[in-house]
Amino acid sequence: MSEARTPAQIEADIVRRRQALAVTLDEIGVRLHPKTIIGEAKAKTAAAVDRTAGRAYVAANRAVSDVRAQLVSQDGAPRMERIVPVALIGVAVIGLLALSSKKRRS
């Protein structure tokens, strides 16, 4: 069988366990402290915003590249056969919006 422990060994074991328990309780206290919880939530939110902003930047960059590819040739010259219709549509939409706004005011 096992050897009998002395009272000093038992007491030393109790002291070690109390110290380990104190460390564990301190760690739990830090993790559950409102400042820690808020800090972690802020960090997660910032990371999510960074990911979303990064995706938005990539999508916007891709859209600009696609439009540029449609309106500018490989050598960098403007494609007037595509630019003129787009410009006319833009002017027409702005004109309709101006007329609509003017009618509402009257």
Q: Give the pLDDT confidence of 2-12 residue by residue, as tens digits.
A: 689 999 999 99
* Range 79-89 average pLDDT: 92
Asked whether the predicted pLDDT for residue 106 surpasses 80, the reply is no
pLDDT in tens, 9-67: 999 999 999 999 999 999 999 999 999 999 999 999 999 999 999 999 999 999 999 98
79: left (phi over 0), alpha (psi -120 to 50) or beta: beta
Asked whether the predicted pLDDT for residue 1 surpasses 80, the reply is no
Rounded distance between C-alpha atoms, residue 100 and residue 103, angstroms: 5
Rounded distance between C-alpha atoms, residue 36 and residue 67, angstroms: 46
* Alpha carbon separation from 32 to 1, 14, 37, 38, 41 (Å, rounded): 44, 27, 7, 10, 12
* pTM, rounded to two decimals: 0.48
